[in-house]
Amino acid sequence: MPDIHLPQGVMHVPSEPFRWVQAMHNRREYILERLREDSPVVGLSCERGILLFTVSAQSRKNYEIYDRIAFGGMGHPADVERIRLMAIDLAHIEGFTRSVQDVTLRRLVNFGICPAVKHAFELVHEAPFVFRSIFAQLGETSRSNLFCRVDFDGSSGFNMSCADGSGQPYCVVGSTPASEAEMLEFLADRVRSINHNLEEAVQIAAQAWTVGMEAIRRSAFEEPDFDAASLKRKWKELQTRHSGVQMMLLDRDLKSDCKCRIATQDEIKGFLQNWK
């Protein structure tokens, strides 16, 4: 290729920065498209601890990370598993080299998970993590429960329950910004306390999940109006079938050091069948 001679005084500006920005935009669009129809995850503080709720008949989405830390993720199952293993490794290294009390959600997210995920997202020639997630840490009381959402680009945000009402005792991740916005709006209207009993928390979380799924359906069919009848049908279907419902509880009442437990099918059936 012959050399290109620019006029005197005109400086050549390389195109690499633009290409990098365009590559980041393309990766973001690719990930959002892959996440578009996945099942949301809802986290909610309650009297006994923290509830993580989702529905998936194909793969598990809620996991224990450490004694008081749990994880709920949506996205590609292999990437969700990679994030889970990363979090477990970081937590146990921290607990071994320091102490169990030093294993905190803020340390894991800020100094371990987010830097690694951001680095992977910015490597243009390698596959990024296709996931969104909620991490939850059980506090000594409901007012000190902590949520953190971690996104595929390494960004994060913390929510803490507060007794004065200044906090946000819930967290969601959805497949689209619209579905997340509608779930958050629903929860802001329905969550009146940081001390809902477990049955109330399950019902609120299940309803928030159906709000998110209904938002995805309306987006797919380009229906701008909220369909209350369709939402009620989804609630009824979830109540009667409850197949694929996944619930993990960080249960403050457990006597063991590990506070994580998975709800049994009998518990799930009982909670959902008692809807009014």
Q: Does residue 78 belong to any structural domain of this protein?
A: yes
CA-CA distance, 269 to 199, in Å (whole number)? Answer: 11
CA-CA distance, 175 to 125, in Å (whole number)? Answer: 25
150 neighbors 84 (Cβ within 8 angstroms) = no
Which range among 170-174, 186-190, 204-208, 270-274 shows the weakest confidence by mean pLDDT? 270-274
pTM of the model: 0.86
Percent of the chain topping pLDDT 70: 83
Could you list the residue range(s) of the whole structural domain that residue 108 is in? 38-273
Q: Does residue 4 belong to any structural domain of this protein?
A: no
Q: Does residue 120 belong to any structural domain of this protein?
A: yes
The domain that contains 125 carries what CATH number?
A: 3.60.20.10
132 neighbors 149 (Cβ within 8 angstroms) = yes
Q: What total number of domains does the chain contain?
A: 1
- Residue 233's pLDDT is what? 72
Q: Does residue 30 belong to any structural domain of this protein?
A: no
CA-CA distance, 76 to 122, in Å (whole number)? Answer: 18
Identity (one letter) of the amino acid at 85?
A: L
The model's confidence at residue 15, banded by pLDDT at 50, 70 and 90, is low
What is the helix (H) or strand (E) element at residue 47, kind and residue range? none
- Would you give the distance in Å from CA 57 to the centre of its chain? 18
- Residue 13's pLDDT is what? 45
Q: Does residue 2 belong to any structural domain of this protein?
A: no
Q: What is the pLDDT of residues 192-238, one digit of tens each?
A: 778 889 989 998 999 899 888 888 777 666 666 666 666 667 767 76
Q: What is the pLDDT of residues 66-85, one digit of tens each?
A: 999 999 999 999 999 999 99
**Average pLDDT for residues 128-141, to the nearest whole number?**
94
SS3 190: helix
Q: Does residue 214 belong to any structural domain of this protein?
A: yes
Q: What is the DSSP string of 157-187?
A: EEEE--TTS-S--EEEE-SSHHHHHHHHHHH
**Average pLDDT for residues 171-180, to the nearest whole number?**
90
- Residue 10's pLDDT is what? 47
Pinpoint the alpha helices (H) of 58-197.
77-97, 105-108, 114-122, 177-190
Going through the chain in order, the beta strands assigned E by DSSP cover: 41-46, 49-55, 62-66, 69-75, 131-137, 146-150, 156-160, 170-173, 245-251, 260-262
